[in-house]
Amino acid sequence: MAGQMKKILVIGATGQIGSELVSHLREDYGENSVIGTYNNTDPSGDLLDGPMEKLDVLNAGRIGEVVDKYEVDSVFHLAAILSAKGESNPQLAFKVNVMGTFNVLEVGRKQQLNRIVIPSSIGVFGPEVPREKAPNETVLRPTSMYGVTKVTGELLGNYYFNKYGLDVRGARFPGIISYKTLPGGGTTDYAVEAFYKAIEDRHYSFFVREDTRLPLMYMPDCTRALIELAQADLEDLNYHADYNVSSLSFSARDLAEAIRKRIPEFSFDFQPDERQEIADSWPNSMDDTPARKDWGWQPRFGLEEMTDDMIDKLKEKLDEHERK
């Protein structure tokens, strides 16, 4: 049932995670063995070092065609509408997230793919879940459409594994902090925007309260988690589409102070908007014991290391843009 990953399709390759995952996978598997797809955002930079295809996840036939063309055996399906954008257009979020995932799973079933990896999110949790160390196994009653679609994706993934033997894997990711590609339309976007604004404008108005504490993760840990989960032995996995993966947990004020320690002129305030309600429905931290036990998950970046690295790399990137 479980085969090796040799030809990998990354759907949503121009997004925040995809744009970094593709280069890591190409380092490991070879440039021509990792095919990226994009829809609304054209690819640029190192994404163009290997094959790229335009693809809409709502077009199942086209997914099948690309899988055939490159003899793909494994898929990372990253295309999704995030939580805040999903609340302003729940119908679109349902269509893209649920029907897109369904289409990918159906292609996986019909074309007998070896592996499908689909990130889930802390969005699956709702207000009833323990705020601290939300367990892997708990009631999933999210209050956002994004959460509804992510729970559906997990259930579908587990269903396809049990019913058809399709090797579907997924982890519940926290908010991801990164400097290469901006996230678009998430509730945890403040944790990325704060860095840009601190460097460019020296001021940031957080759109959440200062005591808002959420699970977060630095991108190098995120791409490593995805690859390690994908490479794990199937026999070791006690879960499939729904592993908690935990790393950082800090408040908006903690983040602001960590940035100010490195950029003393940085000033900030807190002006919560409608995204606060989504943030309040999510836990502060997750218990990821099953991921640690089953496939050896271990985060590497703490708040201090992440902040140092983020500021260095982002300054480099913004300087380079200015020079061009």
> What does the binding site for ligand AKB look like in residue numbers (CB under 6 A)?
82-83, 121-123, 146, 175, 183, 186-188
User: What SS3 string covers the chain?
Assistant: CCCCCCCEEEECCCCCCHHHHHHHHHHHHCHHHEEEEECCCCCCHHHHHCCEEECCCCCHHHHHHHHHHHCCCEEEECCCCCHHHHHHCHHHHHHHHHHHHHHHHHHHHHCCCCEEECCEEHHHCCCCCCCCCECCCCCCCCCCHHHHHHHHHHHHHHHHHHHHCCCEECEEECEEECCCCCCCCCCCCHHHHHHHHHHHCCEEEECCCCCCEEEEEEHHHHHHHHHHHHHCCHHHCCCCCCEECCCEEEEHHHHHHHHHHHCCCCEEEECCCCHHHHHHCCCCCECCHHHHHHHCCCCCCCHHHHHHHHHHHHHHHHHHHHHC
Q: In angstroms, how far is the first alpha carbon of the chain from the final one?
A: 50
Catalytic residue among 38, 70, 146, 196: 146
Which residue's beta carbon is nearest to the bound ligand AKB? 186
Shortest distance (Å) from residue 134 CB to ligand AKB: 13
- The smaller minimum CB distance to ligand AKB, of residues 17 and 314, is found at 17
State which residue, 26 or 85, has the beta carbon closest to ligand AKB.
85
| Residue whose CB is less far from ligand AKB, 33 or 120 | 120
Q: Which is nearer to ligand AKB, 64 or 184 (by Cβ)?
A: 184
Minimum distance, C-beta of residue 47 to ligand AKB, in the bound complex (Å): 21
Query: Closest distance between ligand AKB and the C-beta of residue 294, in Å?
Result: 22
- Nearest-approach distance from CB 76 to ligand AKB, in angstroms: 16
Shorter beta-carbon distance to ligand AKB: residue 114 or 144: 144
**The tokens 């070896």 sit on which residue?**
114
Residue 160 beta carbon to ligand AKB: minimum distance, rounded to whole angstroms = 22
To the query of whether residue 239 is one of the catalytic residues in this protein, the response is: no
Q: Do 248 and 186 touch, CB atoms closer than 8 A?
A: no
Q: Which CB sits closer to ligand AKB, 197 or 275? A: 275
Provide the minimum distance between the beta carbon of 184 and ligand AKB in the complex, in angstroms, as a whole number. 10
Q: Tell me phi and psi for residue 34, to 5 degrees.
A: -125, 115
Q: Report the C-alpha gap between 239 and 76 in whole angstroms.
A: 17
Supply the minimum distance, in Å, between the C-beta of residue 192 and ligand AKB.
9
Q: How far is CA 188 from the centre of its chain?
A: 11
Neighbours of 60 (CB within 10 A): 17
C-beta of 17 vs 116, nearer to ligand AKB: 17
Give CA–CA dist 80/120, Å, rounded: 10
Residues carrying an active site annotation: 146
